Amino acid sequence: MASETTKTDVVVIGGGPGGYGAAFYAAERGLNVTLLDREGSLGGVCLKRGCIPSKAYLHATQLIEEARRSADRGISFGEPRINCKAMREWKDGVVAKLCDGIEGLAKKRKVNVVYGRGYFQSSDKLRVETEDGQQYFNFKKAIIATGSRSLIPEPFDLGSSRILTSKEALEIDSVPDRLLVIGGGYIGLELGTVFARLGSKVTVAEAMDDLMPGSDPDLVKIISAAISDLFQEVHTGTKVADLSTSGESLKAVLSRKTEDDEATTEEVFFDKVLVAVGRRPNSDNLGLENTAVGIDDKSFIEADASRRTQDENIYAIGDVAGGEMLAHKAFREAHIAVDAICGDPPLDEPLLVPAVVFTAPEMAWVGLSEEAAKEAGHSVEVIRYDWRSSGRALSIGQSTGITKMVVDADNERILGVFMAGHGAGELIAEAALAIEMATTVRDLAETIHAHPTFSETLKECAESFFGISPHTL
Amino acid sequence: MDIQLPSLGEGATTGTVVNILVNEGDVVEKDQALMEIESDKAVAELPSPEAGTIESIQVKEGDEVSEGDVLAQLSEGGGSESDDSSDQDATEEKEKLEANDTDDDREDDSADKDDKENEKSKGRTDEDESTESSEEDAETERGQRPPAAPSIRRMARELGIDLHRVGGSGRGGRIDIADLRAYIAQLKKRAEQAATSSGSIGPALPEMPDPAEFGDIESKSLSSIRKTIAGRLSRTWPNLPQVTQFGEADIAELMELKDQHAKAFEKKDAKLTLTAILLKLLPPLLEAHPYLNASLDLENDAVILKKYFHIGLAVDTEQGLLVPVLRDADDKNLLDLARETADVAKAARDSRLDKKAMAGASFTLSNQGGLGGGAFTPLVPYPQAAILGVGRASERPVLVDEALKTHPYLPLALSYDHRLIDGGEAARFMHELVEALEHPDESLFDI
């Protein structure tokens, strides 16, 4: 096999949003860039088996729910007929279109795309195993953007095709009758929602006392109510003590503590199990031991605010470097890393990363929670707006929702915004901009928002700070 | 709040304002130097007790101040002026009221726009600045982004400016591009001020090549006296066009007379020196040439003629040059002058001179003869108009009654403010001085 050594300014390992974002921006800044992906196409988890396909399914299946609900409004439909193959092909089409788009953009920016596995031989040399043999790259700087993968705890890893992670769950070939979702975080709830809408009886088991552990309790309350309606069973404070195959089925032993602090167990049978208990960083098999890159006790690569690792030539961005595992965070970090490589002054502030959970209704937030704001020394005032007062929300039958703002009472700056409700994922953009722009509640209250829209919920919430919200008391 | 003169330490209760480093309306940080106070021989910076805006300055440069005197007024933006929590609440309350005022005045905004723009350039003293006043507060403030848009934050990052230090003029203390510009302008001004104040020396000179490249060096920080001297000269020298008039005097006869009278002085426990003789000779000459005993006041297009003859006497001490002043030299006989010369020189070397003893000279004498110095060009000590430099006399052959003898010749150098004094005036003064030295009147030595 021929092996050659290519010189490149920057080599980016991983073709997800972080990786291609870094490669494109570096190329725009005039650097010679090589972009590696081990999968034969660009896009990463986000495009191929994460954000995009899950949102495609969520959108497609939302219609089923809407159709059911519309009977109340005098419009009835028959039972939906579901063709999993056609649905999957549609989803694949969406994904392929986006992946091709990314590849086209790479070509236009003269980014050298190489498909293969990268392995550091030193702090300036990378070996790449491609289908055509080994290639070597001498780089000035490397950006690791290898992302993360679903974590399957060993007891659940039975080697059965009935046990799914998000990756397999998004390749829907049939609708299981009984589905157990282990993990009540956003992945479990979003995919559970898809299957529940398609007709599965979904049970979710979450070890912590609430769904969406760590999220704002007011939002979780709303989501929990909606999920309880949609799912067959919601078990919080519940562990899956054992999982085993039992003929055509899977037997799960659900264990939870009673009020008397005694453990009760229950055996339940399922057709499929989705394990959504978390994700782990792809920091292994990269040859990091041949560099000065350091990893923490959870295997995340350690990087500073400029995304530089302990190896001065190597940067790390996105899921593999810890923090929120979100594509948009990785994308921003990509630019920060490239700026640092180009010698720009280091970023001296934490990132403001909005988060969206695409359940129905959606939940979204950005900025400081009440507790975090207090901890940071702010005198905090929290204002709330209930969407039942929103004409728009009522008129589309989506009046379950809440907007919360965490405000610095001293200077009236908005520190955090938390929302649950229809379209919250879109509305959060305004909140993120408001915080970035150091907006005060007065600014937001005096910005005219079109009527009747969901965006008014933000304005009215801000107005409530001054006790002048017209539609609430 | 009032900014008072704190204790100056070492028993000193008064000082002189030598430099005011801020202007009214300036936004200052905690511990920023506001003015320089000289006491005895130390020059101390007066730090701002808190962050805020200088409302007014009650003193001017040259003012004598005492411990407890109010030097300036500082208005704090709010936040953390004290640890007293009720104070804090009151401040917060006030801020809220102010915020409401802003809102009520909303309709007038466009009319007030020009005013607002002006205010902007002054910057604002909001909590973001005042919280700099304590480490803890600064720390919590670090947790919050400075109130500015991402584009402004990026610009600040690229310019290396800490936005927490920039006063925002917008609602909630928001920093816009105008605030950033105003802050940069302020930094520039401060840098220029620093360059001309005694705090740092001299206007911008080209960057010094690293002397360590060429061998071992040692860097020592300047003493406060050296800083004062260097700062003053940096300010005055480029602004004071001066010329040095040379002369020399055959002082054989004078020395003879001096030797004859030395005993009488010794009997009275005084040492007769050439310096004392010069101090006796100078007042009548200065009286005849009043512009050499004057100050140029360009601001009022005036020359200030001094009716007194206070002669500054340059004394070389271990700490550096000190210039005690002999007051009313014209009223004193040679014995008085000889004693006083010795007294002030000793006081200077013993660091016993106070500020007063070094103020108010109308003319200065710098005699390097004792140090073996030859001719040199002294620098006019502003705001005086002239200085006489004297070197060591050297023996030169002369023909006296057709016989070859050696006589001591005294090198003289008169530096003068050429804006006030023409060359002719200086030449006449020098000629008369040489005459007085070469043909001394014996009554000079009457005691």
> What residues of B are in the A interface, CB distance below 8 Å?
92, 95, 99, 103, 126-127, 140, 143-150, 153, 157-158, 160, 171-175
Reported confidence tier of residue B189, pLDDT bands at 50, 70, 90: confident
In a domain, B163, yes or no: no
Alpha-carbon distance A459 to nearest alpha carbon in chain B (angstroms)? 17
Alpha-carbon distance A31 to nearest alpha carbon in chain B (angstroms)? 20
Q: Tell me: the pLDDT tens digits for B383-395? A: 999 999 999 999 9
> Per DSSP, what are the bridge partners of residue B294?
B305
A348 interaction partners in chain B (CB closer than 8 Å): 157
- Are A44 and A14 contacting, i.e. CB atoms less than 8 angstroms apart? yes
Which of the residues A411, A415, A439, A465 would you substitute to probe the B interface, choosing the one with the greatest number of B C-beta atoms within 10 Å? A411
A436 interaction partners in chain B (CB closer than 8 Å): 149-150
In a domain, B186, yes or no: no
CA-nearest residue of chain A to B175? A438
What pLDDT is stored for residue B324 in this prediction? 93
Alpha-carbon distance B100 to nearest alpha carbon in chain A (angstroms)? 10
Residue B149 and residue A436: Cβ atoms within 8 Å?
Answer: yes
- Are A366 and A358 contacting, i.e. CB atoms less than 8 angstroms apart? no
**What is the average pLDDT score of chain B?**
79
Residue A376 and residue B92: Cβ atoms within 8 Å?
Answer: no
CA-closest candidate to residue B430, choices B403, B412, B408: B412
Retrieve residue B212's tokens: 């360590």
A413 interaction partners in chain B (CB closer than 8 Å): 144, 147, 172
In a domain, B139, yes or no: no
Sign of CA dihedral B96, B102, B105, B107: negative
Residue B241, preceding bond cis, omega within 30 degrees? no
**Pairwise CA distance, residues A231 & A151, whole Å:** 24
Reported confidence tier of residue B23, pLDDT bands at 50, 70, 90: confident
Distances (CA, A) of B94 to A381, A410, A426, B82, B112: 18, 11, 38, 15, 22
> What is Dmax (Cα atoms) for chain B?
102
Checking if the pLDDT of B204 tops 80, the result is: no
CA-nearest residue of chain A to B128? A411
Residue A349 and residue B145: Cβ atoms within 8 Å?
Answer: yes
Q: Tell me: the pLDDT tens digits for B281-294? A: 999 999 999 999 99
Distances (CA, A) of A33 to A21, A29, A36, A110: 12, 10, 10, 8
Sign of CA dihedral A431, A437, A440, A444: negative
| SS3 state of residue B341 | helix
Give the nearest partner residue to B153 out of A344, A349, A408, using CB atoms: A349
Residue A452, preceding bond cis, omega within 30 degrees? yes
What's the domain range around B402?
242-445
In a domain, B214, yes or no: no
CA-closest candidate to residue B277, choices B445, B56, B88: B445
Show Cβ contacts of residue A317 under 8 Å, excluding neighbours closer than 6 positions. A18, A19, A22, A143, A144, A145, A303, A307, A330, A333, A334, A336, A337
| SS3 state of residue A84 | helix
Size of interface A-B (CB pairs under 8 A): 54
Reported confidence tier of residue B11, pLDDT bands at 50, 70, 90: low
Q: Tell me: the pLDDT tens digits for B248-278? A: 999 999 999 999 999 999 998 899 999 999 9
Alpha-carbon distance A448 to nearest alpha carbon in chain B (angstroms)? 16
Residue B92 and residue A410: Cβ atoms within 8 Å?
Answer: yes
Domain count for chain B: 1
What pLDDT is stored for residue B31 in this prediction? 78
Query: A405-409, B40-44, B47-51 — which one is most confidently predicted on average?
Result: A405-409
A410 interaction partners in chain B (CB closer than 8 Å): 92, 95, 127
Give the nearest partner residue to A412 out of B99, B140, B158, using CB atoms: B99
In a domain, B56, yes or no: no
Residue B172 and residue A438: Cβ atoms within 8 Å?
Answer: yes
**Pairwise CA distance, residues B118 & A223, whole Å:** 51
If one counts every other C-beta atom within 10 angstroms of the C-beta of residue B201, the result is 18
- Are A326 and A317 contacting, i.e. CB atoms less than 8 angstroms apart? no
Residue A415 and residue B160: Cβ atoms within 8 Å?
Answer: no
Tell me the CATH number at B349. 3.30.559.10
Backbone angles phi, psi at B320, to 5 degrees: 140, -175
What pLDDT is stored for residue A470 in this prediction? 72
Residue A344 and residue B127: Cβ atoms within 8 Å?
Answer: no
Q: What is the mean pLDDT of each run of 10 residues along chain A (473 residues)?
A: 80 97 97 96 93 94 91 91 94 94 95 96 96 94 97 92 94 94 96 96 96 95 96 96 93 88 90 96 97 96 96 97 96 97 88 96 96 94 92 85 95 94 96 94 93 94 87 68
Residue A349 and residue B171: Cβ atoms within 8 Å?
Answer: no
Residue B171 and residue A440: Cβ atoms within 8 Å?
Answer: yes
Residue B127 and residue A411: Cβ atoms within 8 Å?
Answer: yes
What pLDDT is stored for residue B77 in this prediction? 59
What pLDDT is stored for residue B446 in this prediction? 82
Alpha-carbon distance A324 to nearest alpha carbon in chain B (angstroms)? 19
What pLDDT is stored for residue A432 in this prediction? 97
- Give me the DSSP letters along A275-312: E-S-EEE--SSS-GGGSS--B-TTSPBP--TT-B-SST
In a domain, B89, yes or no: no
Q: What H or E segment, with its residue span, contains residue A365?
A: strand A362-367
Active-site positions of B?
418
Checking if the pLDDT of B126 tops 50, the result is: no
Active-site positions of A?
451
Residue B140 and residue A412: Cβ atoms within 8 Å?
Answer: no
What pLDDT is stored for residue B102 in this prediction? 39
Alpha-carbon distance A411 to nearest alpha carbon in chain B (angstroms)? 5
Residue B144 and residue A378: Cβ atoms within 8 Å?
Answer: yes
Which of the residues A306, A335, A349 would you substitute to probe the B interface, choosing the one with the greatest number of B C-beta atoms within 10 Å? A349
CA A40 to centroid of chain Cα atoms: 23
- Strands A201-206 and A233-236, bridge-based pairing: parallel
What pLDDT is stored for residue A3 in this prediction? 63
> What residues of A are in the B interface, CB distance below 8 Å?
344-345, 347-349, 352, 376-379, 408, 410-413, 415, 436-438, 440, 442-443
**Pairwise CA distance, residues A393 & A409, whole Å:** 29
- Are A160 and A252 contacting, i.e. CB atoms less than 8 angstroms apart? no
- Strands A163-164 and A148-150, bridge-based pairing: unpaired
Backbone angles phi, psi at B110, to 5 degrees: -65, -40
Checking if the pLDDT of B206 tops 80, the result is: no
R_g over Cα of chain B: 29
Give the nearest partner residue to B149 out of A378, A438, A442, using CB atoms: A438
Q: What is the ipTM of this complex?
A: 0.71
Range A20-32 burial, b when 16+ CB lie within 10 A, else e: bbbbbbbbebebb
Residue B158 and residue A345: Cβ atoms within 8 Å?
Answer: yes
A376 interaction partners in chain B (CB closer than 8 Å): 140, 143-144
- Are A341 and A10 contacting, i.e. CB atoms less than 8 angstroms apart? yes
Which of the residues B85, B105, B130, B171 would you substitute to probe the A interface, choosing the one with the greatest number of A C-beta atoms within 10 Å? B171
Alpha-carbon distance A333 to nearest alpha carbon in chain B (angstroms)? 15
Give the nearest partner residue to A376 out of B143, B150, B157, using CB atoms: B143
What pLDDT is stored for residue B195 in this prediction? 63
Give the nearest partner residue to B140 out of A352, A377, A411, using CB atoms: A377
**Pairwise CA distance, residues A94 & A88, whole Å:** 10
In a domain, B348, yes or no: yes
Give the nearest partner residue to A438 out of B147, B158, B160, using CB atoms: B147
Give the nearest partner residue to A438 out of B140, B160, B174, using CB atoms: B174
- Are A309 and A303 contacting, i.e. CB atoms less than 8 angstroms apart? yes
Complete domains list, chain A, with CATH: 4-150+280-341 (3.50.50.60), 154-277 (3.50.50.60), 361-464 (3.30.390.30)
Residue B148 and residue A438: Cβ atoms within 8 Å?
Answer: yes
B103 interaction partners in chain A (CB closer than 8 Å): 442
What pLDDT is stored for residue A348 in this prediction? 76
CA-closest candidate to residue A177, choices A245, A273, A88: A273
**Pairwise CA distance, residues B27 & B86, whole Å:** 25
Strands of A123-183, DSSP E: 125-130, 133-144, 148-150, 163-164, 178-182
In a domain, B39, yes or no: no
Give the nearest partner residue to A345 out of B146, B160, B171, using CB atoms: B160
CA-closest candidate to residue B393, choices B337, B345, B437: B437
Give the nearest partner residue to B150 out of A379, A436, A442, using CB atoms: A436
Q: Tell me: the pLDDT tens digits for B295-354? A: 999 888 899 999 999 999 999 988 788 899 999 999 999 999 999 999 999 998 888 888
